[in-house]
């Protein structure tokens, strides 16, 4: 993900230089596009970091199944969980 942020930052610098050198509609759109790419790269990274934080707890003689979120599987008669 770091290379995407790097490329988006380079695109922002390049498009900003283009706006300064040749003010117009197309260079302004390039700046807006590169800003949106840079912001979305940070937002996607934050969302992926939140998804990676999962917990799982199962009973002693159980098999754990990891799903898309936090999972807790256990026997009705057993209160102890192995973490």
pLDDT of amino acid 78: 53
Which pTM was predicted? 0.56
pLDDT of amino acid 66: 65
As a whole number of angstroms, the distance between CA 30 and CA 19 comes to 9
pLDDT of amino acid 34: 94
HSE-up (13 A, CA, CB side) for residue 7: 7
Instruction: Determine contact, residues 35/12, Cβ cutoff 8 Å.
Output: yes
User: Which residues in the chain come in under a pLDDT of 50?
Assistant: none
- The secondary structure of 6-39 as a DSSP string is HHHHHHHHHHHHHHHHS-SHHHHHHHHHHHHHHH
Q: What angle do CA 46, 35, 17 make, to 5 degrees?
A: 140
For 33-46, the pLDDT digits (tens) are 999 999 998 888 88
């Amino acid at each position: 993900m770091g290379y995407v942020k790097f490329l988006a930052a380079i695109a922002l610098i390049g498009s900003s230089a283009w706006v300064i050198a040749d003010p117009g509609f197309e260079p302004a759109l390039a700046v807006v596009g590169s800003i949106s790419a840079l912001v979305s790269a940070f937002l996607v990274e934050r969302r992926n970091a939140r998804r990676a934080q999962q917990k799982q707890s199962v009973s002693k003689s159980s098999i754990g199944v990891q799903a898309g979120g936090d999972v807790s599987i256990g026997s009705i008669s057993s209160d102890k969980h192995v973490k």
